[in-house]
Structure 1
């Protein structure tokens, strides 16, 4: 893959975008079907438990996403001729295993607290922790594919994740499994997805090996130690915005579980599916344009296109959910969740704002900058405090989060605007 501007090859961009769109939508439709299937076979209280523990896995995977974006940034810059970052397949895989081990240990140590606050068995949290090993490896492999702009292969991995999740719900339903069984099947699916991703990424390892310097700058320091330190610092910087993004995009379900009655938290899960649909359904845009945002000569074009397309698609989704709220809520959750229909446009608008935040967050990671991440953590604190103050109903919770997310979009636009202005001045 050369470093030529995306604008010079629109057909390639269209094909890549189409691949990611199909893969992302297919994956997320099946992920939402996971809850749709379960909503018809388990109680609303258990559904709330499954939703909240799944969102814990999303929060716990934030460092893995940081690793994905760091790998993608390094590979994208290498493709554009920047060889300042040495990479090797073995170093990346070792770091992935080290990172996932740390995550597993931390979550296991926090098991008593997590189990108590979410009202689930401790075994559920432990099983979920085990899934972080294949999950982290999968994220790394996605980063390699993303940086090489092998979007068709990346779409296959994303689709496989959705299939695995849907099959987990289907098998759990057939076996009449409880929360523990559902999460166990969910964890097993990640093993299969990781194996598939490893096979698809194999053609890229030779290129990564060629990008690796033959000697370390510190000959007296073991090479694996130097590489691990470099990756750890890069991932730590990337985790600031990505952690803020995933905390803000996932905390709503957890807050609903904590502050709302059990049945209301179950109803909130159905509404939150539309937030996730808007957010994750458009995540392919940030993924598609991220390599361009990591390359200096393509950054402005990539950022403006990603933001513009997100707004256009998102606005259509908000209008559709406002007009068809009732039927959509019934279709997804069944007749018992029809009361959520009038609120769906709020959930969808929240997802659109989070998608814009994602683009802005990725723009910051692409230039190894943390201000947007700091802003997101500030907004997350406001969201938690706001919901703690206003949580009399589902409407209160989603409205607080919507206002916070919209304000964060404005802050992110200001941050990136200043960055682009400085780049123009320097050039």
Structure 2
């Protein structure tokens, strides 16, 4: 089996320099001898500007643009490759809307796929991860809110499709004529359900890849209070969904000198950096300087990478396995404890709800639906709390379905 490439997803609040950071990391990786691809999943693609190349949205998964030896770039959008599969779904929806007498022009607008950018990005990333062409894939993600939506999608879409398939396939195969007559609508054919099944399989593969020891997220921020607060929240949210953060990059740090104007900024940034080091304790903190000119082009980006230094912690080599800490279940006497890393969260930030065989965890408005392992489905939640940056949910046996002694 072809080994998976090392994947680094770079994100941060809009305007902090995440695209420049991603491009610099990619150039550094390629010039160190690794076959490197840098992908942009941001709708407002600026990766081409950073690399000083003419980069347009790729029409297919495998079409990339060579920047220099061992370095390729790609911009991914809603029309990248996934359009072929979406066409099957779209044709079915157009048929349904036509049966309602909806104007064809209006129907075209109504069938725009919500989340198409995210689905296309994930499917394209999955393709590159299994192609055997790359040693490293750097992903220039959209700003934080969109990144969270992107990374939550594989599990969320899989959760919904697991409940739709294969029951719906059996019912529709047996009852399509009667169902169509009763509803007055055309029922989806097997080709539509095949597309859903394919998406489900791809999403499961991508989720496995992104939570493996070959993938991590790198958060870019500037030493400003508003930006730091958002970076703290995204660290918690990424951990909620099981993604590892391998480093934070403090960008645009002004060099220290005797100029009064700069001195004021130096003092403010020093205080901000101290907050960052304390907030992200245990995660390597890198510092990139505020350069005299905008770093565009491969040579300038390579120089930025050289000048990016480690301030706190130790950043493992890019080829090293990523140290993760996802969800796990541990026995405790006759009870079971579900543990999930939630750095920087407090018990009051977390809401829990049990819905059948699922546990819904909400942290500051970011939600994850966790399909419970079979052993916990026969249990009930006794209590929960956050301790030392980890959510601990205690389950006890449900005596009605799992009496003690059995």
Scaled by the length of structure 1, the TM-score of the pair is 0.26
Larger fraction in strand: 2
Asked which structure has the greater CA Rg, the reply is 2
Greater fraction helix: 1
Structure of greater relative contact order (alpha carbons < 8 Å, 6+ residues apart): 1
